Amino acid sequence: MRELARPLRLAPGARVAVVAPSGPVPEERLQAGLDVLRAWDLDPVVAPHVLDRHGTFDYLAGTDADRAADLQAAWCDPSGDAVLCARGGYGVQRMTDLLDWEAMRAAGPKVFVGFSDITALHEAFATRLGLVTLHGPMAAGTDFLKNARAQEHLRATLFAPETVRVIASGGRPLVPGRARGVTLGGCLCLLAAELGTAHARPRARGGLLCLEDVGEETYRLDRYLTQLLRAGWLDGVGGVLLGSWHACEPYAGLRPMLADRLGGLGVPVVEDFGFGHCEGALTVPFGVTAELDADAATLTLDRPALR
């Protein structure tokens, strides 16, 4: 696994597009998120269909074609410096194949932020565009709106990435040790669902794999991990970082399954690393070379996430 190209950091006055590739966005949360971005001296621009709701499938923010058009137009806009997702939910996999990846590659690099269902786009941006992306809070997300740690860590990553080269979570080792590799990952169910698709990496070899999920039964998380194991996708992975498991079984019950499925990999595994669907979620860049110290629960980036 190779390190990916790093986009430019943001500066005051940067123009950032807000898109909704997945589920519908509550207008009041969107407006609150825009206020936060403006307070950061950014110039947020809302894509045309962000507040849409699909006429038949009310779990989608408008039609697949419109969501794809919003993302592509935002990415290809030469005046834009970043694309921020408004929220997750479900829907990215329905629209990813509608994007013109050649045109997006020709448009050049810019900052991309999101998590949850956006995992599928993190994979696609890595394989199709070769770009570092940020697994972090979204513009209309509750954590982004109400949690100072989540806001400040994302803001530092965007504007002063050299100040957050060491990401210290306060977590603990599930399997002790140190490992080096290129960061990747996201929502476990999405990584399993992406197996065999045109936009997914064929394996996580040489990577530091970040995993989290939300609202899943333990047996289903077991199934996703087992699928990745059986497919050989985890062969050669360098280390694993476990984030949040919000609305899953209490962690004391979930932990033995994670130890059973991941302990046999023979690599360091750190738990409770503080990213994903949790209060105060940390921003973790994907596509950068880093060192994981499971005992100290730190991830140290070789270089800042953004140039």
Catalytic entry in 49, 153, 199, 212:
212
Q: Is there a catalytic annotation at residue 212? A: yes
Catalytic entry in 22, 49, 54, 116:
116
Q: Which of 298, 223, 276, 2 is nearest to 132 (CA)?
A: 2
Q: In what order do the strands lie in the sheet with 166-168?
A: 166-168, 298-301, 289-293, 178-187, 207-214, 239-246, 269-271, 172-175
Catalytic entry in 49, 54, 122, 277:
277
Q: Is there a catalytic annotation at residue 277? A: yes
Amino acid in the structure at residue 140:
A
The secondary structure element, H or E, covering residue 103 is helix 101-106
Are the C-beta atoms of 53 and 24 separated by less than 8 Å? yes
Centroid of chain to Cα 170: 20
Q: Is there a catalytic annotation at residue 116? A: yes
CA distances 198 to 34, 36, 102, 176, Å, are 34, 36, 14, 35
Catalytic positions, written as ranges: 116, 212, 277
